[in-house]
Chains A and B, each alone.
Chain A
Amino acid sequence: MSDRNRAVSIVMIEDDEGHARLIEKNIRRAGVANDIVTFANGSQALDYLFSPTPPRRPYLILLDLNLPDMTGVDILSALKSNDNTRRAPVIVLTTTDDRREVEKCYDLGANVYIVKPLNYDRFANAIQQLGLFLSVIQVPFD
């Protein structure tokens, strides 16, 4: 993993603490050592991402669509219309596999759409592969 990539901060927006933990565990298992910041709701995540004060870092965003305060789609369009986060890769990671929902997310600029597999082996496998993927992709620096 390059040094540049090591600086990337993974922002996970996931309201289910258990899911967040399982995702994090499996990403770690894939050898990813980046910071993972987890938010249980959309508004806190957006406050964090849009805030001008923290040191500017490249972000990679893991987004669940079913959130209590706002829909993932709203968050996605907010991310893509903000200069801080416009270029940040967004990986939608959710249980919704509705075709229209998938299309809508890609239309709004999501980079990857992953459906959480219900079977845990496949779930773990998918997240670990995602971790491998995260370790090789290039994230733009502002």
Chain B
Amino acid sequence: MKRAEPSLKNLNAVLAAAGVAVLLALAYGAHVFSEKTESLAKAVARLAVAEVRISGVYTQVLEAESSQRGYLLVNDPNYLDPFRAARARGEENLAIAVQKLGQLNVDARGLDALREIVSKKYDELDKTVALAQAGQREAAIDIVRANHGRELMSRIRELTIAELDRLATMRKQWIVELQDSADKMTVLNVLGSVAVFLLAGLAVAQQVRHSSALAVAQQNLAAANDALESRVAARTRDLKRANEEIQRYAYIVSHDLRAPLVNIIGFARELENAFASLKPLAETARDEPGAEKAIAAVREDIPEALKFIRSSTSRMDALIAGILRLSRLGGLALQPQSVDLDQLARDCIATVRHRLNGAGAEVEVEGRLPSVVGDRDALSQVLANLLDNAAKYLSDARVGRIVLRGRQTTTQTSIEVEDNGRGVAAKDQSRIFELFRRAGTQDQPGDGIGLAHVRTLARRMGGDVTVRSDGKSGSVFTVTVASDLRAFLNHEPREDRNV
């Protein structure tokens, strides 16, 4: 199973980074050009103001001169009204123009020259007007005639025109720049829009690719899951089949072993019966020659042989019965039902009571045992076996005491059967759950089936059985089963068992 392609992830990151960089660059460019455009527009406006003011200066000088001429011509003081205001207004205009140029860092020395000449012109005008007001009109007109004023005037015109030309050139230059900057800004805006559009497109395409890759990956994952599930199911089936085969095998073997055993037992008995009728005859033949040997055979050899045949066959019979029972247990259909373990344990205790009383042992249920959904018979066999074992292997050194206690979670329920008996040595603790294996002093009857039985049943009910013991002072057998056998059985695939 591959994970999401790393190249795809990297490409996405690179694209995103590139997009951000381009957008930042475009935004910065737009900002720069818009600043420039704005400052150029302001400059052009200021320059225009300066130009207007400079023209104003010239106009006022003209106005003052024509006012002076009128006054000198008709000697009417009313003509002097514009003249009186002109000089101040001209100064003001010039000051504003200088200020504007100053703000624009434009050379204003041309205006200094203009101011000087304009000032001279006004001095000349003031002088003539003053003379005329003092009654010396002729002298004033003479001054005018001297053409000094006209020269000043033409100088003013030249300077004004030169200055205006210079500023107009500058303004045109700036307007060109302004146009240029505005154009660039437009271009950048267009570029920005295009870039945003492209990036959005790319991002969408990338997202689409990504999603489809994801979908494919999901499909693969689902397919892999399916494959895994079916593999697990197949393995479980195989395992179940193997398990069933073993059970069937055990069943067949025990069956087939049983048939000859029946013959051995049967004919041994026949032999015994036949021998019983033969025996008195042999005894009566005591005096016949060679009778000693026959009598020895009749008295010892044959009964001994028959005794061993009988004990061995009954042992073999028990073993086969054990295997048969175990194979049956493995195949037995469990019947889940609600079982009160507390009541069940008390019933089981009652069945081993005689043995306990005989041993002078006591048994106690600590607290209340939980209830489960389980197979009543199987649970009962498990508990009875554990109790029986505990009662069987008590220690001679102390008064027997057996304690049962339970613990339950939502999935598992465990019952502990604790005794203070002789315990199980560490080396025997796994062996005792095997078929026909017994541990410790063999002073009790038994065929080594009980615990194998318990283990088979516990495992079939979704649990197991374990033992804790120091090998001296007792042992604790803990059997665990599924709290809900029905859920456990539904969880594993079932196949018909027919052993």
Chain A positions within 8 Å of B, measured between CB atoms, are 16, 18-19, 22, 25, 66, 95-96, 100, 116, 118-121, 123-124
Question: What distance in Å separates the Cβ of A29 from its nearest Cβ neighbour in chain B?
Answer: 10
Docked complex Cα distance between A116 and B262 (Å) = 9
Q: Decide if B259 is an interface residue (CB 8 Å cutoff).
A: yes
A123 / chain B contacts, CB cutoff of 8 Å: 262, 266
Question: What distance in Å separates the Cβ of B333 from its nearest Cβ neighbour in chain A?
Answer: 11
Q: Decide if B260 is an interface residue (CB 8 Å cutoff).
A: yes
Tell whether, in the assembled complex, residue B269 and residue A95 are in contact, meaning their CB atoms are under 8 Å apart.
no
Chain B positions within 8 Å of A, measured between CB atoms, are 255, 258-263, 265-270, 317, 321, 498
Partner of B265, one of A16, A25, A100, A120: A120
Tell whether, in the assembled complex, residue A95 and residue B259 are in contact, meaning their CB atoms are under 8 Å apart.
yes
Across the two chains, which residue of chain A brings its CB closest to B321?
A118
B265 / chain A contacts, CB cutoff of 8 Å: 118-120
Docked complex Cα distance between A16 and B256 (Å) = 11
Tell whether, in the assembled complex, residue B269 and residue A18 are in contact, meaning their CB atoms are under 8 Å apart.
no
Known: A95-B258, A124-B269. A19 touches B321 (CB 8 A): no
Docked complex Cα distance between A118 and B262 (Å) = 6
B259 / chain A contacts, CB cutoff of 8 Å: 16, 19, 66, 95
Docked complex Cα distance between A108 and B477 (Å) = 47
Across the two chains, which residue of chain B brings its CB closest to A116?
B262
Tell whether, in the assembled complex, residue A120 and residue B269 are in contact, meaning their CB atoms are under 8 Å apart.
yes
Partner of B263, one of A16, A119, A121: A16
Tell whether, in the assembled complex, residue A121 and residue B266 are in contact, meaning their CB atoms are under 8 Å apart.
no
Tell whether, in the assembled complex, residue A100 and residue B267 are in contact, meaning their CB atoms are under 8 Å apart.
no
A sample of 10 inter-chain contacts (CB < 8 A) reads A18-B263, A19-B259, A22-B267, A25-B270, A66-B259, A95-B255, A96-B255, A118-B321, A120-B266, A120-B269
Tell whether, in the assembled complex, residue A118 and residue B263 are in contact, meaning their CB atoms are under 8 Å apart.
no
B268 / chain A contacts, CB cutoff of 8 Å: 120
Across the two chains, which residue of chain B brings its CB closest to A26?
B266
Docked complex Cα distance between A121 and B255 (Å) = 20
Tell whether, in the assembled complex, residue B269 and residue A19 are in contact, meaning their CB atoms are under 8 Å apart.
no
Question: What distance in Å separates the Cβ of A86 from its nearest Cβ neighbour in chain B?
Answer: 29
Tell whether, in the assembled complex, residue A118 and residue B258 are in contact, meaning their CB atoms are under 8 Å apart.
yes
Across the two chains, which residue of chain A brings its CB closest to B272?
A120
Across the two chains, which residue of chain A brings its CB closest to B268?
A120
A116 / chain B contacts, CB cutoff of 8 Å: 262
A121 / chain B contacts, CB cutoff of 8 Å: 269
The residue in B260, B262, B265 that gathers the most chain A C-beta atoms within 10 A of its C-beta is B262
A16 / chain B contacts, CB cutoff of 8 Å: 259-260, 262-263
Docked complex Cα distance between A6 and B259 (Å) = 31
Question: What distance in Å separates the Cβ of B270 from its nearest Cβ neighbour in chain A?
Answer: 7
Partner of B266, one of A18, A95, A96: A18
Docked complex Cα distance between A119 and B317 (Å) = 9
Docked complex Cα distance between A18 and B270 (Å) = 12
Question: What distance in Å separates the Cβ of B116 from its nearest Cβ neighbour in chain A?
Answer: 137
Across the two chains, which residue of chain B brings its CB closest to A66?
B255
B267 / chain A contacts, CB cutoff of 8 Å: 18, 22
Tell whether, in the assembled complex, residue A18 and residue B262 are in contact, meaning their CB atoms are under 8 Å apart.
yes
Docked complex Cα distance between A10 and B261 (Å) = 25
B260 / chain A contacts, CB cutoff of 8 Å: 16, 18
Please list the 10 inter-chain residue pairs (A to B) with the smallest Cβ-Cβ separation, ordered nearest first. Answer: A18-B263, A22-B266, A120-B269, A120-B265, A120-B266, A16-B259, A118-B317, A95-B258, A95-B255, A19-B262
Docked complex Cα distance between A40 and B460 (Å) = 39
A25 / chain B contacts, CB cutoff of 8 Å: 270
Question: What distance in Å separates the Cβ of B497 from its nearest Cβ neighbour in chain A?
Answer: 11
Docked complex Cα distance between A33 and B259 (Å) = 26
Across the two chains, which residue of chain A brings its CB closest to B498?
A100
Docked complex Cα distance between A22 and B268 (Å) = 11
Tell whether, in the assembled complex, residue A22 and residue B263 are in contact, meaning their CB atoms are under 8 Å apart.
yes
The residue in A119, A120, A123 that gathers the most chain B C-beta atoms within 10 A of its C-beta is A120
Tell whether, in the assembled complex, residue A95 and residue B270 are in contact, meaning their CB atoms are under 8 Å apart.
no
A95 / chain B contacts, CB cutoff of 8 Å: 255, 258-259, 262
B258 / chain A contacts, CB cutoff of 8 Å: 95, 118
In the complex, besides A22-B270, A25-B270, A95-B262, 14 extra interface pairs with C-beta distance below 8 angstroms are A16-B263, A18-B262, A18-B267, A19-B263, A22-B262, A22-B266, A22-B267, A96-B255, A118-B317, A118-B321, A120-B269, A123-B262, A123-B266, A124-B266
